[in-house]
Structure 1
Amino acid sequence: MAGDDDTVLRFPILIGDIGGTNARFSIVLDANSEAGEPIIVQTASFNTIDEAIRAAVLDRSSVRPNSAVLAVAGPVDSDEIPLTNCPWIVKPKQMFASVGIGDVVVLNDFEAQALAVVALGEEHMEKIGGDAPEPNAGRVVLGPGTGLGVAGLVYALNHWIPVPGEGGHMDIGPRTPRDFEVFPHIEKLDGRISGEQILSGRGLVNAYRAVAKADGKPAPFTKPAEVTAAALAKSDPVSEEALEMFVTCLGRTAGDLAMVFMSRGGVFLTGGIAQKILPALRAGNFRAAFEDKAPHSELMRTMPVYVITHPLAALSGLAAYARNPSLFGVQTAGRRWRV
């Protein structure tokens, strides 16, 4: 294992964004190339990440990557890296033989999302309130998906430095009288309600069931997409309230994180759920909850929020890093394995 931050990676470079449900791969051929055609597979279709790389990437291409930069949903702190919401275990040393890659860097998935904030232009974002971002000011990225991902982004010593974490597991609690009616019915995890218990795909279904239980109403939907579709179509009041609660809680959490990172450079919502619920995010309660942070409401009003609309943002961030690692202050000690 090595941790030389200033050592460039050998091209071609395989990049991979490994989520709880989907794994997305691409190849960056050289320092002047955009990432190649993305390959997207469901994690449930393969027993291991090595199998997925062989079947989805290597068997379909004559290009043989020399290096890999992988972003995984979970903390990276050993030679065997379990994913938080998927049974795969990433074993970089095993990859030397199993997929023929001799240099592997493993990042947190929301580090990749933070890198994407720098890599993507504003044409790939939709702004939801606030003033113009301050250049080189702190930023924060969060995204409800299979779980709730969070990362900070700070500019220091001429580098953008992503700050990964497990912010999706912070506590979240009731605030309004209606919250106090609904929250007792939200499914707990070891006795507590973390952000992920509401702000994720399964969390939206949790909120939907809790609203229904609070009012003694039926809750026939079992999938996040069903709740979202009914809420946006305004065809089911329980779904509408669940999505409204989801958006409000997302605004509160985004505001909390914006204060932690003093995000005058912007708060960025990423992932498929944020893109799908854009109309609900524009409705007003998100921004109101985001700004409702007395005694700092005036400060919060100035902070811009963006929804990243690029469908494969993390791959764009990984490609930017792969092409020129020296632009970013990414610490690879303990997270880079070489033959």
Structure 2
Amino acid sequence: MLNASDPSFPFPILIGDIGGTNARFALLVDVDALPQQLPPIKTGDFATIEEAMQKCILDKTPVRPRSAILAVAGPIKSDEIPLTNAGWVIRPKDMLASLRLEDVLIINDFEAQALAIATPAEGDVVQIGGGSVRAMSSRVVLGPGTGLGVAGLVFAQNTWIPVPGEGGHVDIGPRTERDFRIWPFLEPIEGRMAGEQILCGRGIMNLYRAVCAANGEEPALADQAEVTTSALTGSDAAAVETVSLFSTYLGRVAGDMALIFMARGGVFLSGGISQKILPALMKPEFRVAFEDKAPHSALMRTIPTFAVIHPMAALSGLAAFARAPSDFGVALEGRRWRS
């Protein structure tokens, strides 16, 4: 029987980042080992996470994990945790029983992203625009992907404390004349335009179709990849404007989050979309929108913004926590299940 007051997790530890489209895993054999990266799993290919983990991990490795620390895209409120943008329902008690685990911790996926920005390596981030990091100050991470994830990271009592939430669902509205022309063609959620309706993969298509409609044109591109690729090559004018507007709107929301958390330690953009459109984010639109927060524009100019280019940032954050959980203020109550 595990000691209920022990914050550590028995090795080997399976760490996982469970998104709306992909699930990524790695194994930590012991506290000193580097994470052993495992092949990513498409969530839609398996009915349950237990089936996916058994067939793709446990059946293919001689290492038998004793613990699992998983970051999931969705709020953790009970013993049944539905993913926000995928069909899986995470049931930790079932995982303990069917996968013969001793310890399971479930945290929000953007808590893991927040853990990763506590002390990122120099090669893991690229700065966008000006500003400088103030040590031991709050930070924010935003990740446009299948949805729009947001989390804060607060330094208090000599500890980095991740603050999860659903910040991607804040309202977003038009400001410029061009915005007002495009907005009537955007698809809302129950009459409301949330940040996630624009600032994610499907949001890019929502925005692209609205740009085309505002121009009186039929959309020529079929999916997000075509839009972003055409924008970066300059081969489609509507795609170019779409990604430019995407950068502007992401800058606005990132600036809002910086103000909410007073993120003098920096604002970090994570996820595959940010990496893919990094050339567009390096143009003026993102940073201008980020700083345009009168009466606090002078303050905003001092706050740095970064793109996270580490390919598995969430797993990096989970690994840091798994090795030394007492160094982080991660809430365990109601999110940890033990055999």
Classify the TM-score, shorter chain: over 0.9
Give the structure 2 partner of residue 336 of structure 1: 336
Asked if structure 2 preserves the Cα contact closer than 8 Å seen for 1:250 and 1:286, the reply is yes
The runs of 4+ residues in structure 1 deviating greater than 4 Å are: 2-6
Aligned match of 1:284: 284
Please give the secondary structure, in 2, of the residue aligned with 1:32: coil
Corresponding position of 1:300: 300
Which residue in the other structure is 2:39 paired with? Answer: 39
Q: CA RMSD in A?
A: 1.2
Q: Is 1:222–2:222 an aligned residue pair?
A: yes
Please, what TM-score do these two structures have when normalized by structure 1? 0.98
Q: Give CA-to-partner distance per residue, 1:251-281, whole Å, 9 cap, x none.
A: 0000000000001100000000000000000
Cα 1:229/1:192, change in 2 over 3 Å: same
Does residue 1:8 correspond to 2:11, yes or no? no
CA contact (8 A) 1:3 1:336 kept: no
Structure-1 separation of matches of 2:223 and 2:127 = 28
Determine the C-alpha separation between the residues in 2 that align with 1:93 and 1:35: 25
- Cα deviations by residue, 1:120-151 (Å, 9 ceiling, x for unpaired): 31211000122220110000000100000000
Q: Structure 1 residues 332 and 60 mapped into 2: Cα distance closer, same or farther (>3 Å)?
A: same
Matched, 1:58 2:61: no
Q: Residue 325 of structure 1: CA displacement?
A: 0.3
Taking the TM superposition and a 5 Å limit, the aligned residue runs for 1:1-339 are 6-339=6-339
**Structure 1: distance between partners of 2:137 and 2:47:** 42
Give the Cα–Cα distance (whole angstroms) in 1 for the partners of residues 81 and 57 of structure 2: 21
- Does the aligned pair in 2 maintain the 1:18–1:70 contact within 8 Å? yes
Q: Deviations over 1:167-219 (max 9, x none)?
A: 01101100000000001100011111100100000000000000001111110
Partners of 1:111 and 1:151 within 8 A in 2: yes
Q: CA deviation at 1:99?
A: 1.0
Distance (whole Å) between structure 2 residues aligned to residue 327 and residue 238 of structure 1 = 48
Amino acid aligned to 1:225: A
Quick one: which amino acid aligns to residue 275 of structure 1?
Q
8 Å Cα contact 1:119/1:316 also seen in 2: no
Contact persistence 1:6–1:326 (CA under 8 A): no
1:11-38 residue CA offsets vs partner (Å, 9 max, x unmatched): 0000000000000011111111111123
Percent identity over the alignment is 58
Distance 1:180 1:165 in 2: 29
Query: Do the aligned partners of 1:147 and 1:200 also contact (CA within 8 Å) in 2?
Result: yes
d(CA) in 2 for partners of 1:25 and 1:155? 28
Question: Secondary structure of 1:39's partner?
Answer: coil
Distance 1:187 1:98 in 2: 42
Q: Larger deviation: 4-13 or 100-109?
A: 4-13
Residues 139/4 of structure 1: CA separation in 2 closer, same or farther (3 Å cut)? farther
- Tell me the CA shift for residue 221 of structure 1: 1.7
1 or 2 for the larger relative contact order (CA 8 Å, sep ≥6)?
A: 1
Do 1:3 and 1:334's aligned partners in 2 also have CA atoms closer than 8 Å?
A: no
Asked if the contact 2:138/2:261 (under 8 Å) is kept, the reply is yes
Moved more, 73-82 or 33-42: 33-42
Distance in 1, matches of 2:186 and 2:138, equals 33
CA distance in 2, matches of 1:323, 1:272: 26
* 3-state SS in 1 of match to 2:161: strand
* TM-score (ref. length: structure 2): 0.98
On the 8 A contact 2:118/2:153 being kept in 1, the answer is no
State how far apart, in whole Å, the 2-side matches of 1:55 and 1:220 are: 40
- Gapped regions of structure 2 (runs ≥ 5): none
Flag the 1:117–1:6 CA change in 2: closer, same or farther, 3 A. Answer: farther
Letter in 2 for 1:280: A
Unaligned runs of 5+ in 1: none
